[in-house]
Chains A and B, each alone.
Chain A
Amino acid sequence: METKPKLLKYLDGLTLILFLIAIWMVLFYAPTEAVMGNVQRVFYFHVAAGWVGMLGFLVAAVVGVLYLRSGKRKYDIVGVAAVEVGLVFAFINIVSGSIWARPIWNTWWTWDPRLTTATVMELIYAAYLMLRQGIDDADRRARFGAVYVLLGFASVPLTFLSARLFRTIHPIVIGTNQSGSMGQFDMAPKMLQAFLFSLLTFTFIFVDILWHRVRLGLFAEKIEERKIKLGEEG
């Protein structure tokens, strides 16, 4: 594996510092919410994780287009990496939301439109990784992956807009809120600062982890090529 670029080393350090500051902000800087108490603090990383999940799926869709236009394998490697990172953070989003829901909604889970669309989105991208395993030919696998992520991306805006389009109990913290939502709160300035800082931090985390994951994918590709070369020589 090629040595880690200097820029990635700096990014690792900066991301870690931002993450520690974000933890301090959400736990100590932001005030306690008047009704929900401390569990409201889960909201900061819950939303940020959801943002990273959707960002991962967006990147996968963009590189899917680039692959279909150019046929370059590196775009497929970035696409797989972006979906994998997106899946992890979308899962964090769902699980942390469930933990928040228990004391606020009095249940761990309900088939609310937002929760349902988020779960469907997660399953669509989990299926992407599983279905890829079943295709041996690398070019066919990459082409299938590129088309799949483009079609699957329809689930992303649907998930984002579901709380605005359908009757839901899921709160919309930014913008207008529906009367039926449970757990709505008005953000104090310090809450807003902690929230925006969390979004920024998780964006850095996404770029950092994606870079590491892409390097891993490129290295795996290099090994496969070398195996083929050795096989031909042998």
Chain B
Amino acid sequence: MNMNLSLLSQSGPAQTTDYMIAGYAVIIGLMAVYLISIWLRKRSLMRQWEMLEAIQDKDK
């Protein structure tokens, strides 16, 4: 593994905008996926709760 030596010989900042976009897309994307997973699990639990309430009402 070598450091990207072209970084040292360049005159201005390296053109790394694509990597920045990829980085932020991954960060925000993974956070969004996790939040959606919490929401889906909550929805599934709500359904289970409603089903249990329906069973209990039926038993009465």
Question: Which residues of A are interface residues toward B (Cβ below 8 A)?
Answer: 1, 23, 27, 32-42, 45-46, 49, 85, 88, 91-92, 95-96, 99-100, 102-107, 110, 169, 182, 205, 209, 212-213, 216, 219-220, 222-223, 226-227, 230, 233-234
Residues of A within 8 A of B14 (CB): 35-37, 39, 103
* Chain B interfacial residues counted at CB < 8 A: 34
Known: A42-B23, A95-B26, A96-B23. A37 touches B48 (CB 8 A): no
Expressed in whole angstroms, the Cα–Cα distance for A205 and B30 within the complex equals: 14
29 contacts between A and B (CB under 8 A): A27-B24, A33-B13, A35-B7, A36-B7, A38-B19, A39-B16, A39-B20, A40-B16, A41-B23, A45-B23, A85-B34, A91-B30, A92-B26, A95-B30, A96-B26, A103-B4, A104-B4, A105-B3, A106-B2, A205-B31, A209-B35, A216-B38, A219-B45, A222-B49, A223-B49, A223-B52, A226-B52, A227-B52, A233-B59
Residues of A within 8 A of B1 (CB): 105-107, 110, 169
Residues of A within 8 A of B20 (CB): 37-39, 41-42
Question: Which of A27, A37, A102, A104 neighbours the largest number of chain B CB atoms within 10 Å of its CB?
Answer: A37
Residues of B within 8 A of A105 (CB): 1, 3-4
Expressed in whole angstroms, the Cα–Cα distance for A172 and B59 within the complex equals: 64
Residue in chain B with minimal CB distance to A222: B49
Question: Which residues of B are interface residues toward A (Cβ below 8 A)?
Answer: 1-4, 7-8, 10, 13-17, 19-20, 22-24, 26-27, 30-31, 34-35, 38, 41-42, 45-46, 48-49, 52, 55-56, 59
